[in-house]
Amino acid sequence: MDVVRQQPRSEWASPLQLLLTTVVIAIFVITFIVQAFQIPSESMENTLLIGDYLLVDKLRYGAGSVWDRIMPYRSVHRGDIIVFHYPVNPAEHFVKRVVGVPGDHLRLINHQVYVNEAPLQESYTRYSSHLREPFRDDFPKIDMPVPGLEGSWWLQMKKLVEDGQLIVPEGEYFVLGDNRDESLDSRYWGFVPLANIVGRPLVIYWSMKKGPDDLPMAPTAGDKLFHFAYAMTHVFQMTRWNRTFRVVN
């Protein structure tokens, strides 16, 4: 006669506790320490490419709270790459480079960024267009609305321009994409508030040669399982190995 033996509590409680502890730690890390993001556009080329997957350090910057005295926060510096909630639609995340911090007087003349009347040295910029656009290349321009320009930002900008220079207010940051000719950035929609900043990219933990939209057509529309299976079976061919585990700076 077969007898079903009840498993002692100690035999199954320990693995369950380990699993729960792992889940709690993972949730804590994702919530407070790092977060994964994917680069969907060319606005930060060649620093970040479409298909790069980032781990973002969420402990880098403080937000003016009591935790600032305990956690290893530091202020946002000019030249930092940041991930932030898009001010026009906070549900979206953008990644850009900070070129203006509170109190800066900023302008662009023929692509060149000037901060407090001194040219900003930028070895990371890329210019992909041969066409000259005065609003984009000689910012700020308060006499010409252009396609893609947020109306409320255009009105606000007029109040913040003195002697042809934009003054960055307290608690706000002016950001640009490294690919200056193909970036929807602060020129078109305004400043990034400190509260919107999620963190700074740490490392590219994986990079695809093709973006998700370039994968073969799925048998049915929106078949994400097919795309996932394709990516897993072609991971070695699709991976940019020279970018994987690259530190972002």
Asked whether 101 and 133 are in contact (CB, 8 A), the reply is no
Q: Which two tokens stand for residue 147?
A: 């396609």
At 223 the pLDDT is: 56
Does the pTM surpass 0.85? The reply is no
Beta strand 192-193 with 172-176: parallel, antiparallel or unpaired?
antiparallel
**H helices within the chain, ranges in order?**
9-28, 134-137, 151-160, 186-189, 224-233, 235-238
Could you tell me which residues are beta bridge partners of residue 144? none
- Catalytic-residue membership of 186: no
What is the pLDDT, as a whole number, of residue 61? 84
Say which DSSP state 114 is in: E
> One digit per residue, pLDDT tens: the chain, 249 residues?
444 445 455 555 566 666 555 555 555 444 456 788 889 899 999 999 999 999 998 887 865 444 555 556 678 999 999 999 999 999 999 999 999 999 999 999 999 999 999 999 999 999 988 899 999 999 999 887 888 899 999 999 999 999 999 999 999 999 999 999 999 999 999 999 999 999 999 999 989 886 455 555 444 545 556 665 666 677 778 889 999 899 998
Burial of 190 (0-12, 13-18, 19+ CB in 10 A): buried
State the pLDDT at residue 107: 98
C-alpha–C-alpha distance, residues 36 and 56, integer Å: 6
Are 48 and 95 contacting, i.e. CB atoms less than 8 angstroms apart? yes
Burial of residue 53, with CB atoms counted within 10 A of its CB: 0-12 exposed, 13-18 middle, 19 or more buried: middle
How far apart are the C-alpha atoms of 152 and 192, rounded to whole Å?
Answer: 14
DSSP 132: -
pLDDT score for 3: 47
Asked if 56 and 37 touch (Cβ cutoff 8 Å), the reply is yes
Catalytic site residue from 10, 41, 43, 207: 43
210 carries an active-site annotation: no
Residue tagged active-site, from 58, 96, 186, 207: 96
Superfamily of domain 29-247: Umud Fragment, subunit A (2.10.109.10)
Neighbouring-strand partners of residue 206: 53
Structure tokens at 151: 């109306």
SS3 helix, strand, coil % of the chain, rounded to 5? 30, 25, 45
Domain boundaries, the chain: 29-247
Element counts in the chain: helices (H) and strands (E)? 6, 13
